Structure 1
Amino acid sequence: MGKDSASKPMYEQIFESLRERIQLHQYQVGERVPSEKELCDEFGVSRITTKKALEMLASEQLIVRQPGRGSFVADTADMLQERPNRPAPRAAVKDSEKKLLIGLVITNFSDMYGTELLYGMEEASREHDCFLVLRRSFGIPEQEEQSIQELLELGVDGLIIFPAQGEYFSDEILKLVVNKFPFVLIDRYLKGIPASSVSTDNVGAAREGMNYLFDLGHRHIGFLTQPPANTTPIEERIEGIIEAHNDQGVLVNRELWLESFLSTLPSVFDPQVEVRDVETLVEHLQKYPQITALFAAEYHIALLAEQAADRLGLRIPEDVSIICFDSPNAAEGSRVTHMRQSQFDMGKQAFEMVLQSMQNNEMAVNRVVLPARLVKGKSTSMVKQKG
């Protein structure tokens, strides 16, 4: 690590140290890198810190994380790569030698969500003999704009965009619409913007998950999410939860909900925010002891719910059941009950929609919605009557 490393957060220092080891071939392709626990022992930090460092390495396609097995050095020549320095401008290459170049702008990705999206796009790029270039925005609108501009300057033929969190949408996206440039939004759509998109049936998925809890006898259920702030997936999940209440003839009690989680936002890297999220949930569960189940908008929030339950001495699922969207372990009988999104199919379909738009030379607007699947785990059970 360099002379300025001491001024950087520890997760960045660990990331840079491991990156240097990989670049120096101290870890060969396919070789396992140290685990979160091993890095904790080596650097004297918490697992939250080492986890972030490994996630950054995965984000840079330097390692592949395999739940239950560990993290392994990736064959970077065979993976999605950022290629800021290309051998020659595209204009200098003969048309017959050109391969289509598709740009991807994504907030971020990890084992929890996003990696399978990339796998789907990667497979589609191989099938169609195209290149895929990646830029991350970390949910920051200004960085999203810059990423789109850079990819357009690079000469991409089409774009796939995972818009930044919240109510903002980039002026660059509006320019794409006006200029009829081929692009597809993924995981969400933007209200009032005539653009094709691929996303999950969030309404149906949330409805199914909530009805599953109702079928287990739960009536006092807390929904845990980041601030909705006009983010369409969250708004749709809320809609599905309300529909499930109507299905069961149960009144919606939003006092039991907690919509203030910030540590899961892609632009937040401060471990202290995660600590505050857990403390807030502990206080919430103390205030509303009638809660018997929690429905988390994403897997990371479910992990925070487990920490809060542990702090209060609540057993899962005996005292409180937990369900969420997605899980790193998608196998049947996994630890956390979850609604599994079709991420691989979403990524592959988004890529193919961009190609279709380019081939047809038209800007027909299509919204594709894919179903999610309920995967029952060990975190939910029949309600235990309190009192």
Structure 2
Amino acid sequence: MSRLALTDLAAARGRRGLTSVCSAHPLVLRAALRLGRQTGETVLIEATCNQVNHRGGYTGMTPADFAALVRRLASEEGLPDAQLLLGGDHLGPNPWRDRPAEAALAEAEEMVAAYVSAGFGKIHLDASMGCADEPPALDDETTARRAARLASVAERVAREKGLPAPRYILGTEVPTPGGADHLLDSVAPTAPEAARRTIEVHRMVFARAGLEDAFSRAIALVVQPGVEFGNRNVIPYDPARAKALNAVLREEPRFVFEAHSTDYQGAAPLAALVRGGYAILKVGPEVTFALRETLYALDLIASDLIPGYGERPLMAAMERAMLDAPRDWQRHYGTGIDAHLLRHYSLSDRIRYYWPAPGAQRAVDRLLSALSGNRLPMPLLRQHLPAALSLADQPLDPEALLISRVMDALRPYSAACLQDDAATPA
């Protein structure tokens, strides 16, 4: 089966797709790259506007820094350059929306320029949000004009740097970034007429701006297929509810849909999404949840196995880190009796923001050092980490185990995106 490029998505619609891994954690990145080396499929790694930007984002990395990290890890994992694709997600004024619109858009232009300069070939243009002097949501025309403004910057930078022309993702109707904060009953798919209007308004505005060539490289539309996850539950994809929306793609044969917040959907819904035309499946919290889940299991194992290790010191270190800097979880989890549970086990996995904290890094290093080379008894693995029973009574490589568990979380995505060519579109 041939390796898929962005330009192949429309022709393979309903049968093939790409997994978009949205994480900056080195072990998650290694897992995605290692799985890609094994399967031979294209590895799409994306960074978001808040995570990585020309000011550093919350990771402290610029687009050039992030690209260098991913490419170094890819080289170490033996993944060919041609098999790696970098994307920028929600590129627009969102990180600076507390400023007046013109100031926020000036920052967004610099950010887009930095992403393109660093070799990011997939650019999601998202200028839908209002800024300090505007309503929270903008009309389609204003959104499209701002998207065209950012596309003009991307086009210019690519020409000046002699880089391949970017491929664009349009549309902004997406689930809450990182998952919803409340228990969910259902999520309505995007109305078909709204999807049609988004495409048509962008087509018209780009043409008016002399950006027909850029629009010809718009390959996907972000829509809401009716999937979401909250802190505690998941809304699975229902093909019947999305049937009218999916039919829009028959009218736009060169487009596919991009689905955000597909975390925790499971193998069957992911495969159905691809058959429905959602050729780009984004995942983030699910893979960092798998990382945290495995680290916490190893913390329990070390507590039971290693004299003097202590009682779950990794969990205690993460609790201190989150309480010392509550900004990234408090408005999502609150301060009530459930907040402690959510800090550690919420499906939105906001604990992922805290792994770079010095105290967290020290606790992880101590855990991995304590268990490295140890032989874990089979009964202890049955109790705390039954998925790793095959490693019982062998010298343990904890980092390899962590990567393996994240790879397991990614395998359903890989399978969904590599369906048999005879599969029938939903």
Give me the TM-score of the superposition, normalised by structure 1: 0.31
Larger fraction in helix: 2
